[in-house]
Amino acid sequence: MQRLRQAGAVILGKTNMTEFAFTAIGDNLHYGTPGNAADASLVPGGSSSGAGVAVGEGTSDISIGSDTGGSVRIPASLNGVVGFKPTARRVPLTGAFPLSMTLDSIGPLARSVADCAIADAIMAGEEPVALQPVSLAGLRVGIPRGILFGETQADVAEAFEACIDRIGRAGARPADLSIDDLIAEMRAATRRGTIASMEGAEVHADWLASGASVPVDPHVTGPLTRALAVPASAYIRTIRRRCELAAAMAERLEAVDLLALPTVPMVAPSIAAMAGDEALRDKTEGLLLRNTQVANQFDLCAISLPMPGTKLPAGLMLVGKHGDDRRLLRIAAAVEALLGR
């Protein structure tokens, strides 16, 4: 935030979010749930819930969120704005309350790719320059059909296919690229506990281990308490395996320039439905995180763009290679211009 202030940004204040940035629905039992910018009866997506709503409703031009498994891109998708998750450690985490030292990223939400690019450059300590869109002609776009496309709502799937058709007609070369084996390997590696829950449990270990009754959302305390019991050896093995799988993903992505898929497989469900059905809430949270967390787990950068053609907001996610942040933003600017026509 210091870099943004020095660049002339006017900081309006803090927006609401889920407790300890841990859940994807965007609800907060203690401070209220901000209603979706498109329809206040719908969930905003999380964890950077208020950040997405603020940009979506025009309260702010740019919001800053954290993204450990999709917490910038999920609310961006559900509120119809742009959300960028940079490669981890591109933007310093100084001043941000931690969740996962391995997966945490700080990224902007805005109405345009250009605004996201400016905010990202400033936060990364770079000189912001005008974003030059790249030509889409010849661009190799991998479509990771399979696990990440299951249970996608029909209107979201149709909007995605229409976007890919437009991108193809602009000269890009979309082609299926399976990564299901790597995703399955990552799921196996994190079966004892997710990286975010294990590292988050360490952050909160003192009060979790005390057994004291604390007024924290049980959707947060439950996973963190379970992860606290995972032995250090299992955590170390998970981190080692994650490094191996990130290298395997980097090799797989050599065949393409980027991946494209729906940011999340649905539009925003209702706040009431999530509050009234615990099983539905758990399933919805899993689906909201499913696609976005791939970029965090495999140490990539990613951006969500609003997709035309749906009644409620839905996002198109472009996933770039590790460290390829500026090129991904240039590609996203070209896709944004194409879809906006």
| In the chain, domain spans | 2-179+258-340
- Residue 213 is predicted with a pLDDT of 72
Q: Which residues pair with 102 in a beta bridge?
A: none
The tokens describing 291, both together, are 């696609």
Q: How many CB atoms lie within 10 A of CB 340?
A: 10
- Residue 292 is predicted with a pLDDT of 98
323 vs 143: CA distance, rounded Å? 20
Which stretches of the chain score pLDDT less than 50?
none
Span 269-288, pLDDT tens digits: 999 999 989 999 999 999 99
The answer to whether 50 and 17 are in contact (CB under 8 A) is yes
110 vs 18: CA distance, rounded Å? 20
Selection from 292, 323, 335 nearest residue 139 by Cα: 335
- Residue 123 is predicted with a pLDDT of 98
Residues whose CB falls within 8 Å of the CB of residue 60, separated by 6 or more in sequence, listed in order: 12, 15, 54
- Residue 209 is predicted with a pLDDT of 87
The answer to whether 133 and 334 are in contact (CB under 8 A) is yes
- Residue 212 is predicted with a pLDDT of 66
- Residue 214 is predicted with a pLDDT of 76
Full DSSP string of 41-89: TB---SSSHHHHHHHHHTS-SEEEEEESSSTTHHHHHHHT-EEEEPPTT
25 vs 269: CA distance, rounded Å? 9
What is the separation of C-alpha 239 from the centre of its chain, rounded to a whole number of angstroms? 20
Strand ranges across the sheet with 258-262: 62-67, 105-110, 82-85, 301-306, 315-320, 258-262, 140-143, 173-176
- Residue 341 is predicted with a pLDDT of 60
The answer to whether 38 and 79 are in contact (CB under 8 A) is yes
- Residue 276 is predicted with a pLDDT of 86
307 vs 264: CA distance, rounded Å? 12
* Helix-helix angle 218-228:195-203, to 10 degrees: 90
Burial of residue 246 (number of CB atoms within 10 Å: 0-12, 13-18, 19+)? middle
Selection from 321, 314, 200 nearest residue 265 by Cα: 314
Does pTM surpass 0.85? Answer: yes
The answer to whether 77 and 313 are in contact (CB under 8 A) is yes
Task: Name the class of domain 2-179+258-340.
Answer: alpha beta
202 vs 186: CA distance, rounded Å? 21
